[in-house]
């Protein structure tokens, strides 16, 4: 958390639609955020530099520059989590935004509850996490320090690959991790395109961790983009 | 006239068109004089100055002042287009710069000396053609001319002055013109001449002195007055006819002039044109093709004569007949001719007299109610003879040799027979030889063979033998009879042969045309047709061919169509463009831009030119009349086909537009309903929420209503966007290895809320192999199927999802326990905007067509059927190719 906002988290909304900004402001201020607005990319970058927001909500379709390049410019000096909020629902846009450092991606139209949950998750991820933290979600419990994975209290044996896949998802719990990010992290930089590895191992993981592997509740697929481990907020 | 005379609609239309064309076309004013020096240029420039004072944009294109001070003074203040300098045989000449004038495009252009002949290599051979182009471009033109240059007056001028005018202006050019007569009494003109005020070029001084005699000038003055009066007559005529005033001009006459290769024909043609002018009636020029072939010189003269007739406004008809009189009368009857003009026989040989006389006698005897004019031919210039008695003709040496052969052969045969039969029978053998020969050779050789065989017969077989002497009267009689019979039979046979040949030529022509017509009719499109046209013309004319088509912009293509067999250079293209613009043939062997290397024929349709056909003939020979005709026919035929192809394309376009209009109408109907419903729900709910009186528990329901409607709107918009993407072919599946079970899971999760009222039975034929597909697109297809199942079946009924894999194919199906589909709807459910009759409201008829589009983009197929146990089942079949390589364990 930034030192100049002791009580309220600061949020910056970069969106050219005034109606959208108005709606977000009402919702977010009602939920304890201090809201700043920018109507285009340039303004957004200036505001981000001045206000040092804890989190940024970014629209991709801006009048002066593309949202993706706003994201790149922002990432040059800021670590603040960025939630992309866009009407573009093509998976290429999502993947590009996530690969360029966006923390999360939501399509318009969206529900307020979902947005607030995602914002909370993003802020929590932004806090430094100790490796010995034990992760809980539903019946699943993962102790990263002792490499112990249990479902309903029973220990589950995972292969090393399955474990490193799970560990990556736990570290980014609640956030979409793209195929490429997973493949590079788990299998190495040369395996970025081998999606079928992922499909196979994800099926294995679900088999071992999900209550009903055919209706997964924890390891969620983001179509065309990647996977997300459901986190309890 | 007792009967109610209404204005002839055609005449009225023509008058309207003429006045319309006149408003578009520029106005044409000719300052007409009887001779040089009357002050035409002066008068024209004064008129131009007057026009400029009235605010009209006047530009001088070309004026020759001949250094006269008063005339030069009048040029002051008028903008002048600089003259074009042309290098011709080492001399620099000056011409009017037509292109600069066209580019400048003033309201009124002043162009002196209409009959002027341009330097060879100019766009047009004659200045009056430049002027026509200016008029067509919509400029008014002032010009000057002396009366002796009017084409129809040339003969009269020669009779009066004794000199032949070379530079003439066709009367058809003058037809639309306003004429202002610049008149000066001859004695005043002669006085001006004496004072040196009239410019007379030195080289022609002598001729001019002869020309400027008071008697000549009086005659020329009268001609000028009459020509100007004739033009007033034309205007009055148009007016009277348009105003429904009957008058003596409705003569109902129709003239026919017989044209031949004779040098006296032009005189007759002009004479007929004057008569037609006076009678105000149409006229025909008819050439009757004869068995005797024309010499090249005659052929050329005939072409010129017919061109003259055409230029003077005649309808030109050529026909083939062994008898000139018969041919003329046949055409005359077909065309309802009332008067025939023929030349008075006046050749210098007795034969000409005989033949001409025979023609006249036949015409007089058989013309019936048609009147005859017999015109005295002009004294033909020395050295030119109307027709030679040409024994040789086209008969070449071998034909005479063949004749000799036949005579020798017959003599040989007769020598063998002589001991057995008498000399009379031997004559029949000779006769047989002559008749057979006549079928193969021309008239000359036949005549020669007949003579030779008669002599042979006399010499060898008539007693006393080996002498030409004849002792008996009956032998003399026999000899004479034989001679006459041989001649007549020979003549007869050669005529039959000619007719046969003419018939064959006609047949060849019609066959060529037929082939072209048939070939072109098969053309599928314009490119195809251009190829066929090029091939056909190439074969028929042994020439190189180019086709230039009209572009959609309406102008002619810059380059020739790729099927063309010669490249059209930029300079040649401008010739073709000229033909295209003015709808007249241009280029080589024509009057327009004759320096080009090919003939360019416009492909005229009744909706304007469709293109230009370029034909580069080999060699320097002027194409024959027949070739010209055939080329004309080809161009017409090609134009017709082009027109038809364009109409077809337009009809097809219209059909497409109609289809798409129908579709967009269905779309609008469906969309407006689909959009309005949720919007009105949102509006109503939101307005209720705003009301403070609305009770708290209701607010929750209203908010949910808004949410529901918004979701529905969102679905609709997504569907429309998907459809648009699919239609525009922008959907390219990004194939990747996917787990079908995962796809189904995601789709189920996605529609959790919509499916909340329905139990879902999932039956996966485990283990499903990975298959290459686009995860997002297949999920979307499944979404639509699940939504349909949720929407169109009663709550509480189960939705079954099955997935199975067979070698090469993976099937995913969504089945429901609803009412099923009406059988007649089954073939249509995947069509765009199709809705099952009686289906509940809500839905655009797009969902299933999107499914179909998405699956087909994968190379798969969709099926809809009713299940035996009730309910509908939709299945997706995707091709499965290959297996992924086995996954590696990560190196950890």
CATH code 3.30.479.30 for B9-242: no
Q: What is the predicted ipTM? A: 0.84
Q: In terms of domains, do A49 and A139 share one?
A: no
Q: Give the dihedral sign, CA B164/B168/B172/B177.
A: negative
Q: Take residue B198 and report the two structure tokens written for it.
A: 């009239």
Q: How far is CA B37 from the centre of its chain?
A: 45
Three-state DSSP at A2 gives coil
- Structural domain range at position A210: 134-229
Instruction: Compute the nearest-CA separation of B730 from chain A (Å).
Output: 13
Three-state DSSP at B771 gives strand
Domain ranges within chain B, ordered by starting residue: 9-242, 255-375, 397-499, 524-648, 731-879
Q: Do the Cβ atoms of B770 and A161 come within 8 Å? A: no
Ranking B8-12, B192-196, B584-588, B674-678 by mean pLDDT, the lowest is: B8-12
Point out the residue among B707, B714, B884 whose CB comes nearest to the CB of A196.
Answer: B884
Q: Take residue B491 and report the two structure tokens written for it.
A: 């003549």
Q: Do the Cβ atoms of B892 and A220 come within 8 Å? A: no
* Structure confidence at residue B731 (pLDDT): 79
Q: Do the Cβ atoms of B892 and A224 come within 8 Å? A: no
Q: In terms of domains, do A52 and A155 share one?
A: no
Closest CA to B613 of B662, B659, B691, B545: B545
* Structure confidence at residue B447 (pLDDT): 82
Task: Please report which confidence band the pLDDT of residue B25 belongs to, taking 50, 70 and 90 as the band edges.
Answer: confident
Closest CA to B836 of B847, B852, B849, B824: B824
Last residue of a domain, one of A100, A126, A152: A126
pLDDT higher than threshold 60 for residue B689: yes
Q: What are phi and psi of B109, to 5 degrees?
A: -110, 135
Q: Do the Cβ atoms of A186 and B890 come within 8 Å? A: yes
Instruction: Using an 8 Å CB-CB cutoff, list chain B residues near A165.
Output: 890
Name which residue leads in pLDDT, B92 or B232: B92
Q: Do the Cβ atoms of B774 and A199 come within 8 Å? A: no
A interface toward B at CB cutoff 8 Å? 89, 91, 109, 111, 159-161, 163-165, 186-188, 194-197, 199-203, 214-216, 220-221, 223-224
Name which residue leads in pLDDT, B577 or B471: B577
Q: Do the Cβ atoms of B887 and A200 come within 8 Å? A: yes
* Structure confidence at residue A162 (pLDDT): 92
Q: What percent of chain B has pLDDT over 70?
A: 89
Domains B9-242 and B255-375 share a fold: yes
Distances (CA, A) of B781 to A226, B853, B854: 20, 9, 7
pLDDT tens, residue by residue, B93-127: 888 988 888 888 899 999 998 988 888 878 888 89
Task: Tell me the Ramachandran region of residue B605: left when phi exceeds 0, alpha when psi lies from -120 to 50, beta otherwise.
Answer: beta
pLDDT higher than threshold 50 for residue B395: yes
Distance CA B637, CA B523 (A): 13
Quick one: closest CA in A to B715, which residue? A109
Q: In terms of domains, do A92 and A157 share one?
A: no
Q: In terms of domains, do A81 and A154 share one?
A: no
Mean pLDDT over all residues of chain B? 81
Distance CA A94, CA B660 (A): 35
What is the mean pLDDT of the segment spanning B619-636?
A: 80
Q: Starting at the edge strand that comes first in sequence, how are the strands of the sheet with A219-222 ordered?
A: A176-178, A226-229, A219-222
Q: In terms of domains, do A19 and A121 share one?
A: yes
Task: Evaluate whether residue A191 is within a structural domain.
Answer: yes
What is the mean pLDDT of the segment spanning B546-560?
A: 87
Point out the residue among A199, A203, A223 whose CB comes nearest to the CB of B779.
Answer: A223
Instruction: Compute the nearest-CA separation of B887 from chain A (Å).
Output: 5
CB atoms within 10 A of CB B191: 13
Q: Give the dihedral sign, CA B708/B714/B718/B720.
A: positive
Three-state DSSP at B615 gives strand
Point out the residue among B741, B748, B776 whose CB comes nearest to the CB of A224.
Answer: B776
pLDDT higher than threshold 80 for residue B386: no
**Which value, in Å, is the radius of gyration of the alpha carbons in chain B?**
44
Residue of B743, B773, B777, B892 for testing the chain A interface, max A β-carbons within 10 Å: B892
Point out the residue among A160, A197, A214 whose CB comes nearest to the CB of B887.
Answer: A197
Q: How far is CA B113 from the centre of its chain?
A: 33
Q: What one-character DSSP code corresponds to residue B561?
A: -
Q: Take residue A220 and report the two structure tokens written for it.
A: 């969620």
Write down the architecture of domain B731-879 according to CATH: 2-Layer Sandwich (3.30)
Last residue of a domain, one of A126, A147, A173: A126
B interface toward A at CB cutoff 8 Å? 707, 710, 714, 718, 734, 736-739, 741-743, 745-746, 748-749, 762, 764, 770, 774-776, 779, 884-885, 887-892
Point out the residue among B718, B739, B775 whose CB comes nearest to the CB of A203.
Answer: B739
B109, β-bridge pairs: B59, B141
- The answer to whether residues B689 and B702 touch, using CB atoms and an 8 Å cutoff, is yes
Residue partners of B380: CB distance under 8 A and separation at least 6: B263, B264, B386
Quick one: closest CA in B to A107, which residue? B714
Q: In terms of domains, do A146 and A121 share one?
A: no
A·B CB contacts under 8 A: 68
Residue of B721, B887, B888, B889 for testing the chain A interface, max A β-carbons within 10 Å: B887
Q: Do the Cβ atoms of A220 and B764 come within 8 Å? A: no
Three-state DSSP at B802 gives strand
Task: Please report which confidence band the pLDDT of residue B810 belongs to, taking 50, 70 and 90 as the band edges.
Answer: very high
Q: Do the Cβ atoms of A224 and B889 come within 8 Å? A: no
What is the mean pLDDT of the segment spanning B789-807?
A: 90
CATH code 3.40.50.620 for B255-375: yes
- The answer to whether residues B193 and B209 touch, using CB atoms and an 8 Å cutoff, is no
* Structure confidence at residue B305 (pLDDT): 87
- Concatenating the DSSP letter of every residue in B372-424 gives EEEEPPPPPPTT--S----SSTT--HHHHHHHHHHHHHHHHHHHHHTTTS-HH
Task: Evaluate whether residue A4 is within a structural domain.
Answer: no
| Secondary element (H or E) of residue B46 | helix B40-53
Task: Please report which confidence band the pLDDT of residue B20 belongs to, taking 50, 70 and 90 as the band edges.
Answer: low
Task: Evaluate whether residue A26 is within a structural domain.
Answer: yes
Distance CA B691, CA B703 (A): 13
Specify the CATH superfamily of domain B524-648: GAF domain (3.30.450.40)
Query: How big is the CA angle at A48 (ends A44 and A53), to the nearest 5 degrees?
Result: 125
Q: Do the Cβ atoms of A224 and B775 come within 8 Å? A: yes
Task: Please report which confidence band the pLDDT of residue B14 belongs to, taking 50, 70 and 90 as the band edges.
Answer: low
Point out the residue among B746, B887, B889 whose CB comes nearest to the CB of A196.
Answer: B887
Q: In terms of domains, do A122 and A139 share one?
A: no
Q: Do the Cβ atoms of B774 and A187 come within 8 Å? A: no
Q: Starting at the edge strand that comes first in sequence, how are the strands of the sheet with A104-107 ordered?
A: A34-38, A10-14, A55-58, A82-86, A104-107
* Structure confidence at residue B758 (pLDDT): 92
Instruction: Compute the nearest-CA separation of A166 from chain B (Å).
Output: 13
Beta strands B861-866 and B809-816 are: unpaired
B169, β-bridge pairs: B150
Instruction: Using an 8 Å CB-CB cutoff, list chain A residues near B889.
Output: 159-161
Q: Do the Cβ atoms of B892 and A221 come within 8 Å? A: no
- Angle between helix axes B473-521 and B625-690 (nearest 10 degrees) is 10
In the block, tokens 């009277």 appear at B240
Residue of A187, A217, A224 for testing the chain B interface, max B β-carbons within 10 Å: A224
pLDDT higher than threshold 90 for residue B585: no
pLDDT tens for the 233 residues of chain A, in order:
444 445 689 999 999 989 999 999 999 999 999 999 999 999 999 999 999 999 999 998 888 998 899 999 999 999 899 999 988 878 888 899 998 889 999 988 888 888 998 898 888 888 766 655 788 888 899 988 888 999 998 999 999 999 999 999 998 888 889 999 999 989 888 887 888 889 989 999 999 999 888 888 999 999 889 999 988 75
Task: Tell me the Ramachandran region of residue B157: left when phi exceeds 0, alpha when psi lies from -120 to 50, beta otherwise.
Answer: alpha
Q: Do the Cβ atoms of B776 and A186 come within 8 Å? A: no
Q: In terms of domains, do A121 and A140 share one?
A: no
Q: Take residue A155 and report the two structure tokens written for it.
A: 């220990």
Q: In terms of domains, do A96 and A166 share one?
A: no
A145, β-bridge pairs: none
Instruction: Compute the nearest-CA separation of B676 from chain A (Å).
Output: 19
Instruction: Using an 8 Å CB-CB cutoff, list chain A residues near B770.
Output: 196, 199-200
Q: Do the Cβ atoms of B889 and A161 come within 8 Å? A: yes
- The answer to whether residues B470 and B454 touch, using CB atoms and an 8 Å cutoff, is no
Last residue of a domain, one of A69, A94, A126: A126
Distance CA B467, CA B155 (A): 59
Task: Evaluate whether residue A5 is within a structural domain.
Answer: no
Q: In terms of domains, do A155 and A198 share one?
A: yes
Instruction: Compute the nearest-CA separation of A119 from chain B (Å).
Output: 21
CATH number at residue A219: 1.10.10.10
Q: What is the dihedral of CA B374, B378, B383, B384, to 10 degrees?
A: -50
CATH number at residue A45: 3.40.50.2300
What is the mean pLDDT of the segment spanning B304-331?
A: 82
Q: In terms of domains, do A155 and A224 share one?
A: yes
pLDDT higher than threshold 60 for residue B23: no
Closest CA to B790 of B764, B837, B751, B820: B751
pTM above 0.95, yes or no: no
Q: In terms of domains, do A110 and A19 share one?
A: yes
Distance CA B32, CA B226 (A): 11
Q: What one-character DSSP code corresponds to residue B891?
A: -
Closest CA to B745 of A219, A9, A152, A194: A219
């Amino acid at each position: 958390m930034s030192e100049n906002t002791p009580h309220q988290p600061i949020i910056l909304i970069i969106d050219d639609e005034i109606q959208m900004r108005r709606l977000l402001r009402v919702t977010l201020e009602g939920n304890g955020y201090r809201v700043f607005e920018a109507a285009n990319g340039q303004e957004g970058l200036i505001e981000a530099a001045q206000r040092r927001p804890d989190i940024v909500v970014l629209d991709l379709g801006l009048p002066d520059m593309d949202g993706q390049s706003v994201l790149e410019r922002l990432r040059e000096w800021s670590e603040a989590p960025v939630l992309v909020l866009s009407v573009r629902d093509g998976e290429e846009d999502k993947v590009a935004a996530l690969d360029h450092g966006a923390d999360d991606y939501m399509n318009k139209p969206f529900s307020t509850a979902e947005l607030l949950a995602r914002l909370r998750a993003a802020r929590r991820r932004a806090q430094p996490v100790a490796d010995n933290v034990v992760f809980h979600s539903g019946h699943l419990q993962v102790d990263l320090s002792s490499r112990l994975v249990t479902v309903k209290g029973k220990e589950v044996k995972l292969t090393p690959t399955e474990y490193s896949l799970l560990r990556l998802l736990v570290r980014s719990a609640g956030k979409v991790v793209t195929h490429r990010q997973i493949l590079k992290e788990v299998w190495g930089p040369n395996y970025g395109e081998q999606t079928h590895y992922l499909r196979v191992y994800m099926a294995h993981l679900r088999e071992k961790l999900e209550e009903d592997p055919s209706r997964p509740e924890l390891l969620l697929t983001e179509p065309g983009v990647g996977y997300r481990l459901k986190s309890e907020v | 006239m007792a009967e109610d005379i209404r204005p002839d609609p055609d005449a009225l239309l023509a008058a309207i068109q003429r006045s319309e064309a006149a408003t578009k076309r520029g106005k044409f004013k000719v300052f007409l004089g009887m001779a040089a020096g009357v002050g035409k240029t002066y008068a024209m420039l004064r008129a131009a100055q007057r026009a400029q004072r009235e605010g009209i944009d006047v530009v001088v294109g070309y004026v020759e002042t001949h250094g006269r001070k008063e005339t030069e003074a009048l040029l002051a203040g008028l903008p002048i287009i600089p003259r074009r300098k042309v290098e011709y045989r080492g001399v620099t000449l000056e011409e009017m710069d037509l292109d600069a004038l066209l580019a400048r495009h003033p309201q009124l252009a002043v162009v002196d000396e209409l009959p002027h002949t341009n330097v060879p290599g100019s766009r047009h051979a004659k200045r009056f053609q430049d002027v026509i182009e200016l008029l067509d471009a919509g400029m008014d033109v002032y010009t000057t001319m002396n009366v002796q240059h009017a084409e129809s007056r040339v003969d009269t001028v020669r009779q009066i002055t004794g000199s032949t005018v070379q530079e003439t202006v066709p009367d058809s050019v003058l037809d639309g013109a306003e004429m202002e007569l610049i008149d000066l009494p001859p004695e005043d003109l002669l006085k001006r001449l004496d004072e040196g005020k009239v410019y007379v070029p030195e080289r022609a001084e002598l001729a001019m002195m002869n020309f400027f005699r008071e008697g000549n000038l009086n005659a020329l003055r009268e001609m000028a007055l009459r020509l100007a009066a004739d033009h007033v007559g034309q205007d009055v005529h148009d007016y009277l006819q348009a105003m429904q005033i009957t008058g003596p001009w409705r003569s109902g006459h129709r003239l026919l002039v017989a044209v031949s290769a004779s040098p006296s024909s032009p005189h007759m043609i002009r004479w007929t044109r004057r008569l037609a002018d006076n009678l105000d009636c149409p006229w025909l020029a008819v050439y009757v093709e004869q068995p005797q072939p024309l010499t090249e010189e005659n052929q050329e003269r005939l072409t010129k004569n017919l061109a003259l007739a055409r230029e003077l406004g005649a309808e030109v008809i050529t026909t083939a007949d062994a008898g000139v009189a018969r041919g003329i009368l046949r055409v005359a009857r077909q065309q309802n001719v009332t008067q025939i003009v023929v030349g008075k026989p006046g050749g210098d040989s007795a034969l000409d007299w005989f033949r001409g006389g025979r023609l006249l006698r036949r015409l007089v005897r058989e013309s019936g109610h048609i009147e005859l004019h017999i015109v005295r031919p002009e004294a033909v210039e020395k050295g030119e003879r109307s027709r030679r008695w040409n024994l040789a003709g086209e008969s070449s040496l071998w034909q005479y040799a063949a004749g000799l052969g036949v005579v020798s052969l017959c003599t040989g045969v007769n020598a063998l027979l002589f001991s057995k039969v008498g000399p009379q029978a031997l004559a029949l053998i000779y006769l047989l030889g002559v008749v057979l020969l006549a079928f193969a050779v021309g008239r000359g050789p036949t005549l020669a063979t007949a003579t030779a065989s008669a002599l042979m017969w006399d010499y060898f077989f008539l007693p006393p033998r080996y002498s030409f002497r004849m002792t008996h009267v009956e032998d003399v009689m026999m000899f004479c009879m034989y001679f006459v019979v041989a001649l007549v039979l020979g003549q007869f046979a050669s005529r039959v042969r000619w007719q046969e040949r003419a018939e064959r030529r006609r047949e060849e022509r019609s066959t060529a045309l037929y082939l072209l017509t048939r070939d072109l009719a098969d053309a599928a499109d314009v490119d195809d047709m251009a190829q066929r046209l090029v091939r056909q013309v190439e074969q028929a004319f042994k020439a190189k061919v180019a086709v230039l088509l009209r572009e959609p912009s309406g102008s002619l293509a810059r380059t020739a169509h790729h099927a063309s067999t010669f490249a059209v250079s930029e300079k040649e293209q401008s010739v073709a463009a000229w033909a295209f613009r003015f709808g007249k043939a241009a280029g080589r062997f024509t009057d327009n831009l004759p320096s080009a290397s090919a003939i360019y024929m416009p492909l005229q349709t009744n909706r304007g030119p469709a293109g230009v056909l370029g034909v580069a003939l080999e060699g320097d020979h002027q194409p024959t009349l027949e070739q010209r005709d055939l080329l004309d026919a080809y161009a017409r035929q090609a134009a017709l086909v082009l027109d038809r192809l364009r109409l077809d394309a337009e009809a097809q376009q219209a059909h497409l537009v109609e289809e798409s209009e129908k579709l967009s109408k269905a779309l609008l109907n469906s969309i407006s309903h689909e959009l309005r419903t949720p919007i009105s729900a949102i509006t109503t709910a939101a307005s209720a929420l705003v009301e403070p009186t609305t009770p708290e528990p209701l607010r929750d329901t209203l908010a949910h209503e808004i949410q529901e409607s918004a979701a529905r709107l969102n679905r609709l918009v997504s569907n429309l966007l998907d459809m648009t993407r699919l239609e525009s072919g922008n959907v390219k599946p990004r194939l990747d290895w996917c787990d079908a079970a995962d796809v189904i899971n995601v789709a189920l999760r996605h529609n959790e809320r919509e499916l909340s009222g329905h139990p879902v039975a999932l039956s996966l034929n485990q283990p499903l192999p990975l298959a290459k597909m686009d995860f997002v697109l297949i999920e979307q297809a499944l979404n639509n199927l699940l939504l349909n199942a949720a929407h169109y079946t009663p709550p509480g009924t189960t939705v079954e999802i099955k997935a199975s894999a067979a070698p090469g194919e993976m099937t995913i199906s969504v089945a429901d326990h609803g009412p099923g589909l009406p059988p007649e709807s089954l073939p249509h459910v995947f069509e765009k905007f199709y809705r099952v009759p009686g289906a509940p409201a809500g839905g655009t008829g797009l969902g299933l067509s999107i499914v179909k589009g998405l699956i087909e983009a994968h190379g798969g197929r969709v099926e809809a059927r009713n299940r035996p146990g009730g309910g509908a089942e939709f299945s997706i079949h995707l091709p499965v190719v290959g297996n992924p390589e086995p996954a590696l364990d990560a190196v950890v």
